[in-house]
Amino acid sequence: MNDPLHILHHTFGFPTFRPGQAEIVDAVIANRDVLAILPTGGGKSLCFQLPALCREGVTVVVSPLIALMRDQVRGLKEVGVAAASLTSGNTDEQNAEVFAALDAGTLKILYLAPERLASAGPLLQRINVTLLAVDEAHCVSQWGHDFRPDYLRIGALRKQLNVPLAAFTATADEETRGEIIRQLFPTPPQVFLRGFDRPNLNLAFDAKIAPRQQLLDFVKARKGRSGIIYCATRAKTEVIATAIRAIGIHALPYHAGLDAEVRREAEACFQADDGLVMVATIAFGMGVDKPDIRYVLHADLPKSVEAYWQEVGRAGRDGAPADALTLFGAEDIRLRRSQIDEGLAPIDRKNADHQRLNALLGLAEALDCRRKVLLGYFGETPPDSCGNCDLCTEKPVRFDATEAARKALSAVLRTGEYFGQEHLIDILIGNLTAKVKARHHDQLPTFASGKDFERGQWQAIFRQMLARDLLRPDPERQGGLRMTENARPLLRGETLLELRLDRMGAKPAREVRELVPEADEPLLAALKSKRRELAEAAKVPSYLIFNDKTLIEMAGRKPRNLDEMRGVSGVGDVKLERYGTLFLAVINGSAQAMHPARRKLAGKETASIFDQLEGVMFELRLGESGLDKPLSCTSAELARVVAQKPKSQETLADIIGDLKTSRFGTGFLAVLAEG
Ligand code: ADP
Ligand code: ZN
């Protein structure tokens, strides 16, 4: 069967294409040359893997990283696709196996490492290659960070084989795009540029108040979930990893200073484990292909908007909810500014870098929807508000900071642009320190003119002024603050300044979004432990069995038989056969999957009512027609229904709400009337 939808359902087990995938798949199947730009986690691999299965012959995939290739090959084998790779990491035996399979014509997809391109020509000409796919196509760009000289051979190989070429990348900038086209395609390909949004990522920034505590609170609330914490320095990764282990959560440091062996081991653990936290410098990332990373926390401000988006993009590739939190403070801004100022780049480049930093700070100090700011930066027309960022969830309190900012600027100017933030704040709040006295700064008209704010509030004002590039640390004066040209209109009273009022003191921990309703948590945990058991036995990462998204859906839909299991996203034919019964047993059979609310009832006569209600609920899960949106009550709700025995639709609706009452009401009331 060569129908793409059939293959999507049966081989990959996905009910629908992700945005953009269908058009790309169609074009590749139609033998057109294609350049597709999709965000990280957008689902690029499927766009060449699926067409490969629709055609005769072998699809050759050029991919830059051995670890990534290995994972993709394993993933394909898990869904029953004949795939293999040729890399410098292969043993002679492995190579012989691949060659034999190629000659026998049994392989569908062959991954090829770039260093193999030079010598692979004759082999590839022999084996009926019908499509060439290039992953991470930006590696062909000489100006990018990921340049791989071997990628320059791809154009010639394509000519030799005379097959269509499909190139994929997440890097969108026009320069790189142009270069990819020039290097890889003899005539312009069909270009697909998909939206850069990743709607399942929740975006948040918090000003550092008690950074260590903020970080630990965040991690603790997500115990059991995989996450990456990015730190600015190697030393900090070690300190933070130790602190996280001290609260009983498995964490490992990762940076370029560690032995290659130690790093490889950490990578392997992270890949295989469900709940490991990687505390890393940005050395960790390229080649991380784990789809179920549930959060990325920046413990320090990233370098630029592009870097930020790439780093947080590593979370939630499976499409299930994931969190991105960035902690930042005035100190981060000073550090990034001085890194630019003290670098060796020419002045134009430094100015451009300051502007890029400004764009990131604009995102950090945004006053409304972060997605709007972010997508706007990438040139997309964003929605008015996304509903999935901290500023959409909780509107910040703004205040007119014009007066305050002018006082701050005046303190800066009257002290000769020579002093740092804390001394300036001492002057503003009238704090008679030894330094203030020694410099006679208590004689200034600005002295004590800012008494209406506390130190913490002034710190927030200075941070925001630094972020808006109204003030800059002067590299020649040990970081003394200087006023920038941007601040002149404000000083002259020509513009107003609006800032956000930071909440002071302890901030209530941000609510953690549950992956499943509370009632399904024990079931999800049981499914995960079954997954771990199978993964350990097969020595593969857990997500290769099923990813989080699939288990979450399983826990929600509670399939009762293999037919229903078949409807869960990520369950294709092969996995259904391999794992279906095992997971059904967890869902329907085992006591550990029972919700505490239900377990408390076990053995009492009410248990049968509970079970009957649950039966009704399963029957009507997809409505009378079986085609409606899935709906279910939590076990806690059912337990309350059992306890309160409502007699009418109205009283039932008080417990489970109108929507569920309209679906289950008649059935539930019938059970209760009998019971
Ligand atoms: P990219 O290479 O673009 O970063 P991947 O190809 O690794 O992304 O895909 C990310 C994840 O999305 C993988 O776990 C993959 O199984 C999943 N995925 C891809 N396409 C679909 C789809 N149509 N429906 C559901 N999940 C999908
Ligand atoms: Zn938003």
Look at residues 140, 237, 139, 121 and name the one whose alpha carbon lies nearest to residue 183.
140
Judged against a pLDDT cut of 50, whether residue 659 lies above it is answered with yes
User: Which ligand gives the minimal distance to the CA of 553?
Assistant: 1
Judged against a pLDDT cut of 90, whether residue 590 lies above it is answered with no
User: Which ligand gives the minimal distance to the CA of 16?
Assistant: 1
**CA-to-CA distance for 118 and 66, rounded, in angstroms?**
17
Name the percent of the chain lying above pLDDT 70: 95
Q: Which two tokens stand for residue 168?
A: 């994929």
List, as one string, the DSSP characters of 113-135. -GGGHHHHHHHHHHTTEEEEEES
The secondary element (H helix, E strand) that includes residue 349 is helix 347-364
- Predicted pLDDT at 154: 95
- Predicted pLDDT at 449: 95
Instruction: Kindly state the average pLDDT of the residues 423-438.
Output: 96
Pocket lining: 72 vs ligand 1, CB cutoff 6 Å:
no
Judged against a pLDDT cut of 60, whether residue 544 lies above it is answered with yes
- Predicted pLDDT at 651: 92
Look at residues 31, 25, 23 and name the one whose alpha carbon lies nearest to residue 12.
25
Judged against a pLDDT cut of 70, whether residue 595 lies above it is answered with no
Judged against a pLDDT cut of 50, whether residue 233 lies above it is answered with yes
448 pLDDT tier (thresholds 50, 70, 90): very high
Summarize pLDDT for 352-375 with one digit per residue, the tens.
889 889 999 999 999 989 999 998
- Predicted pLDDT at 425: 96
Pocket lining: 284 vs ligand 1, CB cutoff 6 Å:
no
Q: What is the pTM of this model?
A: 0.73
Q: How far is the CA of 388 from the centre of ligand 2 (A)?
A: 5
Summarize pLDDT for 363-408 with one digit per residue, the tens.
999 998 999 999 888 777 777 789 999 999 888 889 999 999 999 9
234 pLDDT tier (thresholds 50, 70, 90): very high
Pocket lining: 169 vs ligand 1, CB cutoff 6 Å:
no
Substitution candidate for ligand 1 out of 14, 169, 575 with most atoms within 8 A of CB: 14
Name the percent of the chain lying above pLDDT 90: 62
E strands in 65-164: 83-86, 109-112, 129-134
What is the number of the ligand 1 atom nearest to the C-alpha of 21?
23
**Residues 228 and 293: beta-carbon distance below 8 Å:** yes
454 pLDDT tier (thresholds 50, 70, 90): very high
DSSP tag of 519: G
- Predicted pLDDT at 591: 42
Q: Which two tokens stand for residue 399?
A: 């205040």
- Predicted pLDDT at 114: 94
- Predicted pLDDT at 60: 97
Instruction: Kindly state the average pLDDT of the residues 227-246.
Output: 96
Substitution candidate for ligand 1 out of 6, 10, 11, 18 with most atoms within 8 A of CB: 18
Summarize pLDDT for 96-105 with one digit per residue, the tens.
999 999 999 9
Nearest CA to ligand 1 atom 19: 43
Judged against a pLDDT cut of 80, whether residue 513 lies above it is answered with no
Pocket lining: 42 vs ligand 1, CB cutoff 6 Å:
yes
Q: Which of 21-30, 155-164, 652-661 has the lowest mean pLDDT?
A: 652-661
Q: Is 325 helix (H, G, I), strand (E, B) or coil?
A: strand
505 pLDDT tier (thresholds 50, 70, 90): very low
Could you tell me the CA-to-CA distances from 605 to 590, 616, 639 in Å, in that order? Answer: 20, 18, 13
Judged against a pLDDT cut of 90, whether residue 444 lies above it is answered with yes
**CA-to-CA distance for 389 and 386, rounded, in angstroms?**
7
Mean pLDDT over the full length of the chain: 89
Q: Which of 287-301, 309-323, 334-348, 513-527 has the lowest mean pLDDT?
A: 513-527
What is the number of the ligand 1 atom nearest to the C-alpha of 45?
6
Burial class (CB in 10 A: 0-12, 13-18, 19+), 558: buried
Could you tell me the CA-to-CA distances from 32 to 54, 146, 188, 514 in Å, in that order? Answer: 14, 27, 10, 43
**Residues 366 and 373: beta-carbon distance below 8 Å:** yes
| 119-151: burial string, b at 16+ Cβ within 10 Å, e else | ebeebbeebebbbbbbbbbbbbbeebeeebebb
Judged against a pLDDT cut of 90, whether residue 470 lies above it is answered with yes
Judged against a pLDDT cut of 90, whether residue 53 lies above it is answered with yes
User: Which ligand gives the minimal distance to the CA of 395?
Assistant: 2
List, as one string, the DSSP characters of 178-224. HHHHHHH-SSPPEEEE-----TTEEEEEEE-SSHHHHHHHHHHTTTT
- Predicted pLDDT at 503: 61
The secondary element (H helix, E strand) that includes residue 280 is strand 277-280
- Predicted pLDDT at 266: 93
Q: Which residue, chain included where needed, has tokens 């949004």?
A: 197
**CA-to-CA distance for 297 and 309, rounded, in angstroms?**
12
Stronger pLDDT, 508 or 303, i.e. the higher one? 303
The torsion angles phi and psi of 181, rounded to 5 degrees, stand at -65, -45
What is the number of the ligand 1 atom nearest to the C-alpha of 38?
3
Look at residues 226, 358, 257, 233 and name the one whose alpha carbon lies nearest to residue 305.
358
